[in-house]
Amino acid sequence: MTRITKPGRSEEDMNPNGILFEVTKASEGGYDAQAVGHCIFTQGEDQDGLETMVQDAVRCHFAGGDVPDTIRLHYVEDEAISI
């Protein structure tokens, strides 16, 4: 079973046979997730839905091969400040 780790986990908890997704809030609502180093993109309406969609996308992408043990989600938030 593939597990999803979230921010706050130590590096020791993360298997080197993993995949990283950068997650951003979608302009139309929900979340977008793009794998780093792989052509995998998916969306979810909320965080739980996104986790399910990411797991499905990874299983689909690696259907005939070596499925990563760990999926890491890195939530990216842009913030603009004025000078």
Residue 28 lies in a domain: yes
Residue 45 lies in a domain: yes
What domain range is 37 assigned to? 3-8+16-75
At 80 the pLDDT is 85
Split into its structural domains, the chain has a count of: 1
Reported pTM: 0.76
Residue 60 lies in a domain: yes
User: Of the candidates 31, 36, 29, which has an alpha carbon nearest to the alpha carbon of residue 71?
Assistant: 36
Residue 80 lies in a domain: no
Residue 54 lies in a domain: yes
The C-alpha R_g of the chain, in whole angstroms, comes to 14
**Per-residue model confidence as pLDDT tens digits over 58-73:** 999 998 888 898 999 9
User: Of the candidates 76, 43, 70, which has an alpha carbon nearest to the alpha carbon of residue 57?
Assistant: 43
At 78 the pLDDT is 83
How does DSSP classify residue 70? Answer: E
CB 72 within 8 A of CB 19: yes
- Residues 49 and 38: their CA atoms lie apart, in Å, by 21
Kindly report the number of other CB atoms within 10 A of residue 71's CB atom: 21
